[in-house]
Chain A
Amino acid sequence: MKNMKFNNFFQSKTFKIIIWVVVALIVLLLVFRLGIEVGYKKAQFSYHWGENYHLNFGGPKGGFFLPPNKNDEFISSHGAAGQIIKIDNNNLIIKDKENVEKSVLIKDDTTIFCLRQKIKASDLKTGDFIVVIGDPNNAGQIEAKLIRVMPSPAQINNGVPGQNTFSPKFLRNRLPR
């Protein structure tokens, strides 16, 4: 009789609700943990970026350019997308979409792509629009793992909206002769 009640409980609606609550709590806690992790990384990188600003870019701590969005002042640490404004040996200074300068360190194992071919770091030019994936270091830089040269919004079909193709000028400069 007791066994019957026991079995009925495991097939009851209450038991299903308990299971769903437990699953929802697990998902919620995992997402919360993920949020903490990402937030911590962003905060840490922003701290190092601010601390080393005068070393990386010159100028006051905190930078000349302030992020325009005051609610999201932390800088993303594992990637960047923007225009190269300065090339200094293996160090690229880029200005991202939020007008924040980022220092990107090119290492020996960094893969650089342009169109369908691999290129060298020396092939990168000031004004190129690049997308970088990498890891942050304690000097407030991003150690690049992958760099992809992309047509910037102005280079896409000479800035004509709605036609998402490379402009002839971009292809002329980039295609091998």
Chain B
Amino acid sequence: MHPCFVLINRRIKLSFKIMTEKKHRKLANFLASPEPPKDLLEKIMNQIHWEQERRIIKVRFTLFSVLLVTSLIALIPTFKMIQTSFAQSEFINFIQLAFTDTKAIINYFDSFIVAILESLPVMAIALFLFVIFVLLESIKYIAQYSKSLFSPLKTNLKTN
């Protein structure tokens, strides 16, 4: 064989060897891909748990929103009821005595207190306070749930 031809042949073999080595290295690099983080499962489970909680919060948020609207609507008739009850009862007249005849009221305090208690429209006051209580509690829970519901998605997955 001509020496020149032999030289070319060797060169081709060498370059082929280099290429295959490079390919092997690339393949090895590809196969040695990064391992998933050890706490990935825990993070995924946490995320699932959070989503479940979010669903429960959504239901509760809707429930308390309905309660808020109901109590707001109920506030008007109960307020009118308490107004009527006070107007019909003698309570206001007795209370006026405490300002106009304070000294005399101190002397007859026992009778005055019983008169006040007897004339107090208890049921109307209790109903009105109950509606106020439901209203305030609904606002409290709505504020609490809206914080977790409308805040950016809680995630514990670290971004690299």
Please report the C-alpha to C-alpha distance between residue A150 and residue B99 in the assembled complex, in whole angstroms: 13
From A34, A69, A131, A145, contact of B117 by CB (8 A): A34
Please report the C-alpha to C-alpha distance between residue A81 and residue B107 in the assembled complex, in whole angstroms: 19
Contact assessment for A41 and B96 in the assembled complex, using a CB-CB cutoff below 8 Å: no
From A34, A77, A96, A146, contact of B97 by CB (8 A): A146
Q: State how many angstroms separate the Cβ of B93 from the closest Cβ of chain A.
A: 4
Given A76-B90, A80-B90, A97-B88, CB of A145 within 8 Å of CB of B111? yes
A contacts with B, residue count (CB < 8 A): 25
Given A111-B104, A146-B101, CB of A133 within 8 Å of CB of B117? no
Contacts of A113 in B (CB 8 A): 100-101, 104
Given A38-B117, A42-B118, A76-B90, CB of A131 within 8 Å of CB of B97? yes
Interface residues of B in 69-114 (CB under 8 A from A): 88-90, 93-94, 96-97, 100-101, 104-105, 107-108, 111-112, 114
Q: For the side of the interface on B, what is the size category? A: 20 to 34
Given A79-B90, A131-B90, CB of A41 within 8 Å of CB of B108? no
Main secondary structure on chain A at its contact with chain B? strand
Contact assessment for B111 and A134 in the assembled complex, using a CB-CB cutoff below 8 Å: yes
Contacts of A76 in B (CB 8 A): 90, 115, 118-119
From A34, A38, A69, A78, contact of B111 by CB (8 A): A78
Please report the C-alpha to C-alpha distance between residue A79 and residue B89 in the assembled complex, in whole angstroms: 11
Contact assessment for B90 and A133 in the assembled complex, using a CB-CB cutoff below 8 Å: no
Main secondary structure on chain B at its contact with chain A? helix
Contacts of A42 in B (CB 8 A): 118
Contacts of A80 in B (CB 8 A): 90
Contacts of B96 in A (CB 8 A): 131, 150
A98: Cβ under 8 A from any B Cβ:
yes
Quick one: CB contact mask for B109-129 with A, threshold 8 Å, 1 for yes? 001101101110001000000
Contact assessment for A133 and B115 in the assembled complex, using a CB-CB cutoff below 8 Å: yes
Contacts of B101 in A (CB 8 A): 113, 146, 148
Contacts of A71 in B (CB 8 A): 123
Please report the C-alpha to C-alpha distance between residue A135 and residue B113 in the assembled complex, in whole angstroms: 12
Contact assessment for B97 and A133 in the assembled complex, using a CB-CB cutoff below 8 Å: yes
Please report the C-alpha to C-alpha distance between residue A146 and residue B104 in the assembled complex, in whole angstroms: 7
Query: Taking CB as reference atom, which chain A residue is nearest B112?
Result: A133
Query: Taking CB as reference atom, which chain A residue is nearest B90?
Result: A81
Contact assessment for B118 and A131 in the assembled complex, using a CB-CB cutoff below 8 Å: no
Interface residues of B in 116-148 (CB under 8 A from A): 117-119, 123
Contacts of A38 in B (CB 8 A): 114, 117-118
Q: Enumerate 25 A-B pairs (CB-CB under 8 Å) in ascending A order.
A: A34-B117, A38-B117, A69-B88, A78-B111, A78-B115, A78-B118, A79-B111, A79-B118, A79-B119, A81-B93, A97-B89, A111-B104, A113-B100, A113-B104, A131-B96, A133-B97, A133-B108, A133-B111, A133-B112, A133-B115, A134-B111, A148-B97, A148-B101, A150-B93, A150-B96
Please give 18 more A-B residue pairs, beta carbons under 8 A apart, in addition to A81-B93, A113-B101, A131-B93: A34-B117, A41-B118, A42-B118, A71-B123, A78-B111, A78-B115, A79-B111, A79-B119, A80-B90, A97-B90, A111-B104, A113-B100, A131-B96, A131-B97, A133-B94, A146-B97, A146-B108, A148-B100
